[in-house]
Amino acid sequence: MNKDLCLILGFAALTVLGCNEKKESVEVKEQALPNVLILLADQWRAQATGYAANPDVMTPNLDSLESMSVNFKNAISGMPVCSPFRASLLTGQRALTHGVFMNDVQLDTNAVTMGKIFSKAGYDTGYIGKWHLDGHGRSAFIPPGNRRQGFQFWKANECTHDYNESVYYDNNDSIKKIWDGYDTFSQTDEALGFMKDKESGDKPFLMVLSWGTPHAPYHTAPEEYRNLYDADKIHLRGNVPEDMKNQVKKDLAGYYAHITALDDMIGKVVRNLRVSGQLENTIIVFASDHGDLLGSHGAYKKQQPYEESIRVPMLFYIPDHLGISSGPKDALINSEDILPTLLGLCDISMPNSVEGINYQDYLLGKEEIGNETLIGCVQPFGQWSKAEHGAREYRGIRTLDYTYTRDLNGPWLLFDNHKDPYQLNNLVGNLEFTILQSDLDQRLTERLKSAGDEFLPGMDYIEKWDYPVDETGTVPYEN
């Protein structure tokens, strides 16, 4: 990788965005509700950013955004797979409440969702990109109405991992359309057009821009981004098996190419908001639905309870007039906590259906919360569905210091997050940690009881929700 180019890109990002300077203090009318822009990536792990001290990946624009944002450096995807995260983002509920605990099932069309809540509060709402909450086939048309969960403007598709000339549908037309070129770029331009149309309006907006990358396939970013990375120079995490290292380096090079392309789009979004004056009153949330093991622990993708799978990048850019200082935060914010936190920041009433935590008072320094959170897998499926791969149902508790998980047979994994960052030394059964293991197990039991989670076998929940599954416990889908 060309480190000089990285330095040039970083300097350029700081110069254009103005992020090396303190955010300007802007007087905003008291009655002006803040706009909300959610930038959601797919399968971007927390370790893959420049600001997280990754020595390889080029993310100068994201690093600049981080410098003026709240950085939840311990953000967690509590059920690290696509649809469960997205359903929790929209509802502020845990997976066993909204019922989307695996991919390719439908979120209840009667759910109280982000789109509906913000629409009722007077917002223009829009959704662009990957949806993955409809359950009618990955290329099916999602008609206007309750299956769009309150989003009015619509240029989206259920799910695709073809990022070049991929399919989408617009507001009212059931005819398939094709994004021009690399869809990350076209989707971003569409979001910029939506926000530009709102410049002179009297209503705030909620826009979700949901990119499909950097999810596999890893080697399909535009050539100019792939050329930025030399696989031979990629550094690997200390938990990648020797026999996988060459392939993982190649895949990381492609993964990082997608990320740098996304980074350019993040810079484009922030620059446009700054030029239009909208940045002064727009909350920006950058996050990913889950991480990617990418060779760590000998596996790829997600679902498993390891750091590379459950930890995600999460930034909240919050305008100055809302009174919250930027900087890193330790709190273990989870997927169901994003919606209530946004509602708090926007002064919108919290529906009774919301289960997540509102972190507004934490951000204002009025409350200390977020020292632990739940993680889990209700039903392993897809790429992690076979017993020979170690697939299992699990529940766990992630604290600032430890990660503890239990499967249906009892204690499974216990790691010291600080002394063992690559999670290579399982402390379950270690006599020196008997008291700690017992304490974490009791805390997990209490958290599960509070959440109403009986921790039953996955098939029990599949039967309860009447999901059709194949012999591997996976919901079949049509492309």
Q: Which of 139, 222, 153 is nearest to 184 (CA)?
A: 222
Angle, to 10 degrees, between the axis of helix 338-345 and the axis of helix 82-91? 30
**Average pLDDT of the residues in 263-273:** 98
63 confidence band (pLDDT: 50, 70, 90): very high
Q: Is the pLDDT of residue 6 over 60?
A: no
**Is the predicted pLDDT of residue 204 greater than 80, yes or no?**
yes
Task: Select which of 19, 82, 159, 377 is catalytic.
Answer: 82
Average pLDDT, the chain: 93
Gap between the Cα atoms of 51 and 37, Å rounded: 21
Helix (H) or strand (E) holding 96: helix 95-98
pLDDT of 50 reads 98
Could you name the CATH architecture of 3-20+32-371?
Answer: 3-Layer(aba) Sandwich (3.40)
β 35-42/205-214 pair status = parallel
* Calpha distance 124→35 (Å, rounded): 9
Mean pLDDT is highest, among 6-15, 52-61, 131-140, for 52-61
User: What topology is assigned to 374-465 in CATH?
Assistant: Arylsulfatase, C-terminal domain (3.30.1120)
What pLDDT shows up at residue 479? 79
- Asked if the bond preceding 60 is cis, omega within 30° of 0, the reply is no
pLDDT of 112 higher than 50: yes
Tokens of 123: 């917002």
Model confidence at 68: pLDDT above 90: yes
State the average pLDDT over residues 361-372: 96
Task: Name residue, tokens 């090396």.
Answer: 20
More confident call, 374 vs 29: 374
Is 346 an annotated catalytic residue?
Answer: no
pLDDT tier at 471, thresholds 50, 70, 90: confident
The domain segmentation of the chain, as residue ranges, is 3-20+32-371, 374-465
**Segment 407-427 mean pLDDT:** 98
pLDDT at 22: 38
The pLDDT score that the predictor gives to residue 163 is: 97
Banded pLDDT at 17 (limits 50, 70, 90):
low
Q: Quick check: 254 pLDDT over 60?
A: yes
Rounded to an integer, the average pLDDT of 254-276 is: 98
322: buried, middle or exposed (CB in 10 Å: 19+, 13-18, 0-12)?
A: middle
pLDDT (average), residues 191-218: 96
47-to-2, 59, 87 alpha-carbon distances in Å:
20, 12, 24
What's the chain's length in residues? 479
Q: Tell me, yes or no, if 98 is annotated catalytic.
A: no
CA triplet 436, 437, 442: central angle to 5 degrees?
100
Tell me: pLDDT of 31 over 60.
no
Check residue 302 and give left, alpha or beta (phi > 0: left; psi -120 to 50: alpha).
beta
Check: CB of residue 158 under 8 Å from CB of residue 475: no
Catalytic residue among 6, 19, 98, 132: 132
Q: How confident is the model at residue 89 (pLDDT cuts 50, 70, 90)?
A: very high
Which is nearest to 37 in space by CA: 195, 182, 260, 256? Answer: 195
**Angle at CA of residue 347, ends 368 and 282, nearest 5°:** 95
Contact 391, 380 (CB under 8 A): yes
Predicted pLDDT at 25: 41
